[in-house]
Chains A and B, each alone.
Chain A
Amino acid sequence: MPDSQWEVVIGMEVHVQPRTRTKMFCGCAIGQLGDPPNSNVCEVCMGMPGVLPVINKAAVEACLKTALALNCEIPRHTKFDRKNYMYPDLPKGYQISQYDLPMSVNGHLELGDRQVRIRRVHLEEDTGKLIHAGDKLHKAWESYVDLNRAGVPLMEIVSEPDLRSADEARDYAQALRTLLRTIGASEAEMEKGQLRAEPNISIRRYGSDDLGVKTELKNINSFRALHRAIEFEVNRQVEVVESGGTVGQETRGWSEAEQRTFSQRSKEFAEDYRYFPEPDLPPLELDRPWIEALRRALPELPAARRARLVSQYALPASDATQIAAERELADLFEAAAKASGDSKQTANWIIGEVAPRGKLPTPAHLAELVTLVATGKITRDQGREVLGTSMENGHSPAQIVAERGFAQISDESELRVIVEGVIAGNPRAVEDYRAGKKQAMQALMADVLTRAPQTKPNIASALLLELLK
């Protein structure tokens, strides 16, 4: 990590694909990764002459829900603007985005006990994709344009430069994903490109209030890559500055293969996008009853749920944080804890065993498992195995315990029959024991455990002693 005299300053631009059936300005289906090129297109998203955009209401609602969940202010009017630049993946020669009257401003996201300020959340459209025969556009001898992504809605969530480490940046992105999933605004799968995080990174000496020259990182496809890319970039900037150089303002790409960032585009000469209001779309009025209805329909948000997990289930704050970080985990916890009546053990199982598996059991199964272990019916180790099997074949833990004969025999009457059988079947050892040879006890116990492997040894030996008297 960098020398302690350097403070890291990170702001995040996150592009999120809202959950909609159709594209931002036309009726085309969103489609899947791997669809044949140009199969989800029409004259509108292909930028044919004469076409016009029509706003997708579902995208606007997803954006407004996100803005509300991020505690943003929502103005009474918003509008779309054209961002003009020419590139073959941009069929109209401009991107419809939002410039000076975005859908929302001035919010914050709670990150543990901190607040990260949100500058704005706005809506825009995605571009298409280029496939080059050759490594890049200017060198390629042939390039192909796939417009399946062109016109797919995107929300852009811009934070203030409030993050101070790679850890915080990753936590922020994860918290954002949880929030988006909780409110149903997006699937927010990073691997599917539904959530793209672009950190802006600069360094400065501790105590300074100035912002250093920032670099923007792109091509980040996972939370792990986000963390690594930031660490790499911070180290690179520190090295540049400490060796007497200056950091240049630029966009850098993260190479997953090489685990490093590389320069993509200098931003010294800022591009002039000639923004102006999109004349094909009248300004949108965001009327208050609509906004209030959306606000009322929001589910409990992760920060509030975390607090409630502490107060209602008496969970330690760290457990509550981990569980509330994933909506599915928190749902599972609450249902299973209620069914089992043991919230502490339920939380332990979720954090220790369920979360790392990346797959969830049903709440009823988990509750059953927690009870089986807590009441001593099976051991913890057996519990892990039962959980794994249950999640694989869908059978209930009790059923698996029965099928495998895992149950610890704690039923005394059943055990008494077995122990009586052992005494009857080993007259010699019984005689030796009664004659004072205490070692004979071991042979008897061995036989009990052979006949009943699930027997708890302490219970068995106590019963044996009792019956031998």
Chain B
Amino acid sequence: MSELTELTIAEAARLLRLHSISVAELVTAHVERIAKVDPLVKAFLRATPEMYEKQAEAADEKLRRREGGPLTGIPLAVKDVLCVKGIETTAGSKILRGFKPPYTGTAVQRLFDAGAVMLGVTNCDEFAMGSSTENSGYYPTHNPWDLDRVPGGSSGGSAAAVAAGEAMIAVGTDTGGSIRQPAAVCGVVGMKPTYGRVSRYGLIAFASSLDQIGPFARSVEDASLVLDAMSGHDPLDATSSDRPNDVRKDFDKGVKGMRLGMPREYFDVEGMEPGVNKAVREAIKALENAGAEIVDVTLPHTDYGLAAYYIIAPAECSSNLARFDGVKYGMSVQDVDNITEMYMRTRRQGFGEEVRRRIMLGTYALSSGYYDAYYLKAQKVRTLIKRDFDDAFSKCDAIVSATSPAVAFPIGSKTDDPLSMYLCDVLTLGGNLAGLPGISVPCGTSQGLPVGLQVLAPQWREDVALRVARAYEVASGVMAEVASVA
């Protein structure tokens, strides 16, 4: 394994500025690493030499002129739900096979503008619906720490790529935990920002009121740098905020004097593995030793979160996915007698089982006569869950818990049981329903597999989440490692 694929951004940036290495060398090291391990990991769907060759050259040129910032020349992997002009982008779905967007989304463009170099497109659950990347329309991705296990999902490709040293950083999307949960089970850092912090323009929507784009990295600092570059108001996204971008303020101030809340419901969820529980409690102890005050808080509506989420997200998805109709782009079944048949056959062949299930669930929940009982009630529950967090944050600065109640599970073990798959997100989806920022940092292992500590902060307090996560890194001395991949 080349050392170049184990660097953090700060380390790489130092070497690049000293001209000890060039961007071309850094990128080549990653491309070679991908060639070596990706046949096993399958984190990527497509390599993008047409992007990285030019971007690497431009980045080297900038560095020669002593220009550029921390992300100049940093190898990046992009989840297959983020549109990049001219690069096939399919949301992990066969229905979009061959689709090349005519534009680049805002968040990715900002990373390009900051000098990041796009290595390729990473695998994910189809339309970001899933927690294992097994719902990809192409192939499953394997967990670099144990190739028989899933990398989590839906951004499993991005998490696995960073964990396996195939990319230094990656971007993913998080609708119910799709960044934090794969980050946890792949042993990397993953962050979902406050809803509205990062523009969603160019993100192929799953559930518009829940989706956020966020970073993967192998250190909290790296994650903060990527987030910082993507953040800020975008006139093309009416839900993006024009608040000042202050995500990195107080980054290294530690947790002394901070109050960290442990929601009792989050330590008592269905499927919580003893090893995960132990690792997380030890991590919290380390934060206490570093000067934080640990307080008990309660999130009484936690039990209803999953149900509310699985009404709201499918309802929005049923509408968001209506545009995939075979008329304008992607798959189109042509040997049909009429338009209705074209719609039905294109969508039946193009969408996988889980996507079809959620479209049907959501269509049902929005139907006349059921809207009040399902969608409206779920929105009321969402309000109660937000209120739970407001109350909890009146007693603490941040909330700490496990990210996922379990470590990575074996491939194929949950595919026949969607409900048990849905339970993977039970600790993360509350943050989406309430629009909160949340980060997952590696905190040891259980059964030899990575465990993640989740830090949730009040809206717009990414700085708090990052500061606590960074303090844990410092206190524990635990940093994400690159999996060797046998």
Contacts and interface: CB of A to CB of B under 8 A. Distances in A.
Interface of A: 43, 46-55, 82, 84, 86, 88, 91-94, 137-138, 143, 145, 272, 274-276, 279-282
21 contacts: A48-B83, A48-B101, A48-B103, A49-B205, A50-B101, A50-B202, A52-B201, A52-B237, A84-B319, A86-B322, A86-B325, A91-B323, A137-B339, A138-B338, A274-B363, A274-B366, A275-B366, A279-B207, A280-B205, A280-B208, A281-B239
Given A50-B205, A52-B236, A82-B319, 19 more contacts: A43-B101, A43-B103, A48-B103, A49-B101, A50-B82, A52-B238, A55-B238, A84-B366, A93-B319, A138-B340, A143-B339, A274-B318, A274-B363, A274-B366, A274-B368, A274-B371, A279-B207, A281-B238, A281-B239
B99 interface: yes
Contacts of B102: 43, 48
Nearest to B103: A43
Residue among A43, A86, A138, A276 with the most chain B CB within 10 A? A276
B238 A280 contact: yes
A229 to B, nearest CB: 29
Given A46-B328, A88-B327, A276-B319, A53 B238 contact: yes
Residue among B81, B102, B201 with the most chain A CB within 10 A? B201
B203 interface: yes
A93 B82 CA distance: 21
Closest 8 CB pairs of A and B: A93-B322, A279-B208, A274-B366, A279-B209, A49-B204, A50-B83, A50-B202, A50-B204
Nearest to B368: A272
A25 to B, nearest CB: 9
A233 B202 CA distance: 49
Given A46-B328, A55-B238, A92-B323, A274 B367 contact: yes
A249 B328 CA distance: 34
B203 A50 contact: yes
A48 B320 CA distance: 11
Residue among B236, B321, B322 with the most chain A CB within 10 A? B322
Residue among B238, B363, B375 with the most chain A CB within 10 A? B238
B238 to A, nearest CB: 5
A48 B202 CA distance: 9
A88 B327 CA distance: 7
Contact of A50 (B201, B238, B319, B371): B201
Residue among A49, A143, A279 with the most chain B CB within 10 A? A49
A46 B366 CA distance: 25
A84 B322 contact: yes
Contacts of A86: 322, 325, 343
A102 to B, nearest CB: 18
B266 to A, nearest CB: 27
A238 B387 CA distance: 59
Contacts of B81: 50
A244 B454 CA distance: 73
Interface in B76-99: 81-83, 89, 91, 96, 99
A86 B105 CA distance: 26
B304 interface: no
A49 B367 contact: no
B85 to A, nearest CB: 10
B105 A50 contact: yes
B323 A52 contact: no
B200 interface: yes
A92 B318 CA distance: 12
Q: What is the predominant secondary structure among interface residues of chain B facing chain A?
A: loop
B247 interface: no
Contacts of A47: 323, 328
A281 B327 CA distance: 26
A274 B105 CA distance: 29
Contacts of A145: 327-328
B370 to A, nearest CB: 10
Contacts of B236: 52, 54
Residue among A52, A88, A93 with the most chain B CB within 10 A? A52
B418 interface: no
Nearest to B235: A54
A224 B63 CA distance: 72
B339 A138 contact: yes
Contacts of B235: 54
B99 A49 contact: yes
A145 B82 CA distance: 27
B238 A91 contact: no
A281 B237 CA distance: 8
Contacts of B203: 50
Residue among A53, A84, A143, A274 with the most chain B CB within 10 A? A274
B422 interface: no
B101 A282 contact: no
Interface string B257-295: 000000000000000000000000000000000000000
Contacts of A53: 238
Nearest to B366: A274
A14 B54 CA distance: 54
B74 interface: no
Given A50-B101, A50-B105, A274-B319, A88 B325 contact: yes
A64 to B, nearest CB: 18
A116 B411 CA distance: 67
Contact of A93 (B237, B315, B325, B339): B325
B310 interface: no
Contacts of B139: none
Given A50-B101, A274-B368, A282 B239 contact: yes
Contacts of B368: 272, 274
A275 B349 CA distance: 27
Interface in B136-166: none
A163 B404 CA distance: 63
A274 B368 CA distance: 6
A51 B89 CA distance: 14
B328 A91 contact: yes
B316 interface: yes
A52 B204 CA distance: 10
Contacts of A274: 318-319, 363, 366-368, 371
Interface in B183-233: 200-205, 207-209
Nearest to A272: B368
B393 interface: no
B409 interface: no
Nearest to A49: B204
